[in-house]
Amino acid sequence: MNNSTATLLVSCPDQKGLVAKIADFIYSYGGNIIHADQHTDFQQGLFLTRLEWQLEGFNLPREVIDPAFGAIAKPLNATWQLHFSDTIPRLAIWVTKQDHCLLDLLWRWQAKELTVDIPLIMSNHAKLKPIAEQFGIDFHHVPITQETKLEQEAKQLELLEKYQIDLVVLAKYMQILSADFVSKFPQIINIHHSFLPAFPGANPYQRAYERGVKIIGATAHYVTANLDEGPIIEQDVVRISHRDTVQDLIRKGKDLERLVLARAVRFHLQNRVLVYGNRTVVFA
């Protein structure tokens, strides 16, 4: 039996009958909905929904679903994404020297917590190459300096194209991407080691220590042209005390970073995240 599912993520101006219209579309072709969730932002007058249904028994050929739904969606001024669970997305992980987020993602991938292909690890340092080799993943060392940044970004874009990458995860990649790069490849998730909007930019643990906060956090967000200001997907925190040094904050923070990034990547890969403005709806 075919366990594959289709998922629609839809946003449109709010109006009467949206739930009924979209559910009718699926039902009329015999689809069995296994997840449906929606949210209305009344302030913005925006309706957002996620519907997932089984392809087994669905009478519309796969390649016709998108145009057929488009005939319903366009009069509603809707934007939508259609995903099939058996089309496995391709992920590139970018790192610098720290391995904790990288290893955590790879373990989860091996444990089948993440349904994804990971054909490419990219780094501005050579240090983590052995991990790539251990997991049988291509590793590309693309060093970056102030002077070479633009040409190296061109090289990075080539790699993303060559490996047909759908999503880049910055798993402690300690370089800032140019606005130009982000506009050309906008599907990027970053983990920032603070509870944003507190402590954006460099050295958040040092600054958290100096400010004397009692709780630290980590934030996974989509990357935009403005550093650490993209739409937040997931955050979490951990309590600290006066006994914790900056090194303790870094150690405790690593555990947060691993968990928060993994949750955000999983939500994205399961097509549970809808961005609107600078906000996300996570249909968890």
Residues that bind a second copy (CB under 8 A): 16-21, 23-24, 26-28, 30-43, 99-100, 103, 107, 111, 113, 134, 195-199, 210-215, 217, 231-237, 239, 241-243, 245, 251, 255, 259, 277-282, 284
Cα 236 to Cα 96, 158, 196, 229, 233, distances in angstroms = 23, 34, 10, 17, 11
- SS3 of residue 38 by DSSP: strand
Which one of the listed residues 228, 244, 248, 255 is annotated catalytic?
Answer: 228
- Least Å distance between CB 2 and a second copy? 16
Q: In 93-203, which ranges are continuous DSSP H helix?
A: 100-110, 129-134, 149-162, 179-184
Ranges of H-type helices in 117-273: 129-134, 149-162, 179-184, 204-211, 246-269
Residue closer to a second copy, measured from CB, 177 or 273 = 273
Give the dihedral of Cα atoms 28, 32, 37, 43; nearest 10 deg. Answer: -10
Nearer to a second copy, 156 or 270 (CB): 270
Q: How far is the CB of 31 from a second copy (least distance, A)?
A: 7
14 belongs to the catalytic site: no
Please name the residue that has the structure tokens 């955000």: 264
Closer of 134 and 203 to a second copy (Cβ): 134
Residue 195 C-beta: closest distance to a second copy, Å: 6
Shortest Å, Cβ 43 to a second copy: 8
Comparison of 89 and 217: residue with beta carbon closer to a second copy: 217
**Residues assigned a catalytic role:** 228
